[in-house]
Amino acid sequence: MVKEKEMQLSDQALGAIMMALQESLLNELDIVPILKGFKLEDTGEGLTVTNPPTVRFTDNSQITNEDLVKMAKPRNA
């Protein structure tokens, strides 16, 4: 019998999820595209998101679903 490795989310990953949730609630957008786009890495602190969402501070324009998908793309892509 093979035992599955148990994993936990790091504080950083939880923060990334909270940022995605906040953006989706504030802009009444679907959170699924950004969550599906998360790239996860298993570290000593737990799973981390290598491409966390970013938050706009200077641009007051409406955030679209396309923006959310772009936020979740890997930084090196």
Is 66 inside any structural domain? Answer: yes
Is 4 inside any structural domain? Answer: no
pLDDT confidence of residue 48 = 95
Domain, as residue range, for 30: 11-71
- Length of the chain (residues): 77
Is 27 inside any structural domain? Answer: yes
| Contacts for 41 with CB less than 8 Å, ≥ 6 apart | 47, 48, 50
CA distance 49 to 25: 20
pLDDT confidence of residue 18 = 93
pLDDT confidence of residue 43 = 94
Is 22 inside any structural domain? Answer: yes
Is 5 inside any structural domain? Answer: no
Nearest to 40 by CA among 10, 76, 77: 10
Q: In total, how many domains does the chain have? A: 1
Could you tell me if 27 and 63 are in contact, meaning their C-beta atoms sit under 8 angstroms apart? Answer: yes
pLDDT tens by residue, the chain, 77 residues: 778 889 999 999 999 999 999 888 888 889 999 899 999 999 999 999 999 887 666 666 776 667 666 665 555 54
Full-model pTM? 0.67
pLDDT confidence of residue 72 = 59
